[in-house]
Amino acid sequence: MKSLFSRLTVYDLILILILFVTSLVFLITGINRSPGSTAKVIIDNMVIDHLDISADSGYTYDAFHGKITISIAGGQVRVSESDCPLKFCMKTGAAFRTGDVIVCLPAKFMVVIENGDNSPVHGVTG
């Protein structure tokens, strides 16, 4: 019986190499995200609030499945209480980097961490 490695073709090795490099790129770019400065609160695809995450505070919102309470502490945002049935939004943990998202699907509730500047430019290459 032949081993697994002896049955691989050149094309299989190229595909494995491409997948490996792609996963490394996504890992490196995900690690290097900067800490955010504001949190955008969205309920039913409508922006409800922009919050400064540098100051410790707590906010409660009425969503479709009752109330959702978010707490801001140490530059991190988390859902501390929720009336939704499965509470995945609470289990998500803290969000603090630009692009982090906390979602509660039953409540149609979302918190998106942003960098605070409203510039439409996301990057510049030279």
Q: What angle do CA 81, 86, 91 make, to 5 degrees?
A: 60
Confidence (pLDDT) at 4: 72
* pLDDT > 80? residue 15: yes
Q: Which pLDDT score, from 0 to 100, does residue 69 have? A: 95
Q: What is the pLDDT of residue 34?
A: 81
Contact 38, 114 (CB under 8 A): yes
Asked if residue 125 belongs to a domain, the reply is no
Sign, Cα dihedral of 7, 10, 12, 17: positive
Indicate which CATH number applies to the domain containing 83.
2.60.320.10
Give domain status of residue 2, yes or no: yes
8 and 70 together in one domain: no
pLDDT attached to residue 125: 61
Q: Could you report the per-residue pLDDT of 33-74, keeping only the tens digit for each?
A: 788 899 999 999 999 999 999 999 999 999 888 899 999 999
Indicate if 61 and 20 belong to the same structural domain: no
Q: What is the pLDDT of residue 118?
A: 56
Q: What is the C-alpha separation between 30 and 18, in angstroms, rounded? A: 18
Instruction: Indicate whether 67 and 89 sit together in one domain.
Output: yes
Same domain, 28 and 43: no
- Total structural domains within the chain: 2
Asked if 79 and 68 count as a contact pair (C-beta separation under 8 A), the reply is yes
Share of the chain above pLDDT 70, in %: 87
Asked if the structure places residue 107 within a domain, the reply is yes
Domain around 91: 38-114
78 with 70: CB under 8 angstroms?
Answer: yes
pLDDT (mean) for 22-40? 83
